[in-house]
């Protein structure tokens, strides 16, 4: 999971490039709204990249920091996805099957990791493993 969250960090760091390539489909989504503009995507994408990189590092090292990060991220992902689909309008929406598959993977990865970390939280007591 640490590797996958590290890849998510790289993806978030590149949100500004995604936005430049296609502003209608690229860029970071914050509280259900796609962020417009290069500078906001650089700043928010970079911030999320740092947070996800820290999460990946804490998972890999079994740092105690992984426990609260996993819980926060498990709440963040469903909230952000639900708000995105609530606010989403227009012709650029993906088909329902694709949206459902993305939702299942996103929720499974975020909530599943949080459940696993919480279940094994006694293993996350030391950061030197």
22 pLDDT higher than 90: no
Of all residues in the chain, the percent with pLDDT exceeding 90 is 54
User: 129 lies in a domain?
Assistant: no
pTM, two decimal places: 0.84
- Own/partner contacts of 28-36, CB < 8 Å, gap of 24 or more, are 29/80, 29/84, 30/80, 31/79, 31/80, 31/83, 32/80, 32/82, 32/83, 32/84, 32/85, 32/86, 32/87, 32/88, 33/83, 33/84, 33/87, 34/84
pLDDT digits (tens, 9 = 90+) for 79-101: 998 898 888 777 777 778 888 89
> 91 or 126, which is more confident?
91
For the chain, the domain total comes to 1
Task: Supply the range of the domain harboring residue 67.
Answer: 2-124
Q: Write down the pLDDT at residue 126.
A: 57
Q: Write down the pLDDT at residue 98.
A: 84
């Amino acid at each position: 999971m640490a590797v996958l969250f590290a890849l998510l960090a790289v993806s978030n760091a590149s949100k500004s490039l995604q936005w430049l390539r296609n502003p209608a489909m690229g860029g970071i989504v914050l509280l259900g709204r796609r962020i417009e503009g290069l500078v906001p995507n650089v700043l928010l994408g970079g911030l999320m990249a740092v947070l996800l990189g820290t999460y990946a590092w804490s998972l890999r090292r079994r740092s105690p920091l992984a426990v609260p990060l996993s819980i926060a991220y498990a709440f963040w992902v469903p909230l952000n996805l639900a708000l995105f689909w609530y606010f989403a309008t227009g012709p650029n929406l993906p088909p329902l099957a694709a949206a459902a598959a993305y939702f299942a993977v996103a929720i499974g990865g975020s909530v599943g990791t949080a459940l696993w970390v919480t279940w094994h939280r006694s293993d996350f007591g030391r950061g030197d493993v």
